[in-house]
Amino acid sequence: MNYITAYFLELFNLFNAMAPYLLFGFFFAGLLKVFFPKRLLTKYMGKSNAAASFNASLLGIPMPLCSCGVLPTGISLYRNGASRGSTNSFLISTPQTGVDSILVTYSMLGLPFAVIRPIIALITGFFGGVLTNVFDPEKKENIENQPKTIQEETPRTLAYMLKYAFVDFLQDISKWLIIGLLVAALISVLLPDDFFTSYVSNDFVGMIIILVASIPLYVCATASVPIAAVLLLKGLSPGAILVFLMAGPATNFASITVLSKTMGKKSTLIYLFTIIAGALTFGVLVNLLPTQWFELTQTHQHHEHGEILPYWLQIFSSFTLFLLILNVYYQKNFSKKDTIMSNNQNEFSPEFMTVKVSGMDCNHCKVSVETNLKKIENIAEVIANLQTQSVEIKGDNIDLEKVKSTVESLGYTYGGKL
């Protein structure tokens, strides 16, 4: 019973510490989505040089995209004129950070980690792009032959901004945020405080262990923070924590598979090499910094910002975030399902069909598939379903070959008509 009580108390404290910064981060993410023109990304990412790689890495840092959400965005940019090197820069730097994760990092890990994370994301993204330009140079004919994808138009309204920030974006990360909190609380309760200092005496060995565990793992940049905070409290070195914060959000089997298919094996190997080499290099460097910069205690973790953020505000933020998460799951599972078929049962002239599309993991994937399929001639309406991994299409004389090529150009797997 003591373990159960301690677990839920730890879970409450972690949620309380994160909630105000998450809400502000989500709001800022909505502002970026609505008011940051995507054409700027393409404009500054079009050349195969160091400047384009730097621009892409810099532009990717504040973007609130996880490793699944960044894929359709990066691939769309590549199809619309971004060079292979700058696309790799964007894909490397973006999932490591984001406005929401930087704020939560400051809340739970302190200012040094909050400053170091975006700087390292910028550096690794830049070098990843440069290496891609050197070892996997762009060929003009390949660019010209790439099927173009359509970047969706974003309504510039307050209502859309709030919906994206507190429904769509929250829906994308809520599952992993909850898992991250549950795992962090479990680690905090079960592992002794001196676990890593007692059993993993070598810091570099600790980094290797964390790296091996992180590469196939999917965890978004924000959800990785509470786990990192607890591991740091249990004695894991700051360098190993940095490895987890870099490799966990930026790599997983799904993203590696999609990258290999769309960018090529050589660019994918450079992507992985950059993240692994960067994580280990900067992990070693971070361990050389003064240890007091990264020292945390339970009091520090839960109450460091108590003087800045009143306790009532933390409670109010937690309650608000909890209601928003409940709303997300209600909208996802219990509200009226999006469907074309049910609303058109008595219409016989248009053609209705459902096709299998695998690999859609978030609302960015959903919007990307819907937007690009709607541009195909004779298609009137498209609705993608993340739960069933299928897409319903309405139109006349639908060309399934065009549907297939469009889906595959976005990096997803076309499974045929259902």
Query: What is the DSSP annotation of 55-91?
Result: HHHHHHTT----TTTHHHHHHHHHHTT--HHHHHHHH
Question: Is residue 17's pLDDT more than 90?
Answer: no
Q: What is the CATH number of domain 341-417?
A: 3.30.70.100
Task: Give 290: exposed, middle or buried? Use CB within 10 Å, 0-12, 13-18, 19+.
Answer: exposed
- Please give the pLDDT value at position 42: 66
Nearest by Cα to 15 from 400, 350, 316: 316
Q: Which residues pair with 234 in a beta bridge?
A: none
- The DSSP annotation for 237-304 comes to -HHHHHHHHHHHHH--HHHHHHHHHHH-HHHHHHHHHHHHHHHHHHHHHHHHS-GGGG---HHHHHHT
Instruction: State percent of the chain over pLDDT 70.
Output: 83
Rounded average pLDDT over 384-407: 87
Read off the pLDDT of residues 301-311 as tens digits, 9 standing for 90 and up: 444 444 457 88
Cα 231 from Cα 15, distance rounded (Å): 16
Any idea where the domains of the chain sit in the sequence? 2-324, 341-417
Cβ pair 360, 342 in contact under 8 A: no
Helix (H) or strand (E) holding 205: helix 203-214
More confident position, 138 or 226: 226
- Please give the pLDDT value at position 139: 60
The band of 323, judged by pLDDT with boundaries at 50, 70 and 90, is very high
Cβ pair 98, 25 in contact under 8 A: yes
Rounded average pLDDT over 171-177: 80
Cα 348 from Cα 89, distance rounded (Å): 48
**Lowest mean pLDDT segment, chosen from 110-119, 188-197, 244-253, 346-355:** 346-355
Read off the pLDDT of residues 127-151 as tens digits, 9 standing for 90 and up: 999 999 999 876 644 444 455 555 5
The whole-model pTM stands at 0.75
Task: Please count the residues of the chain.
Answer: 418
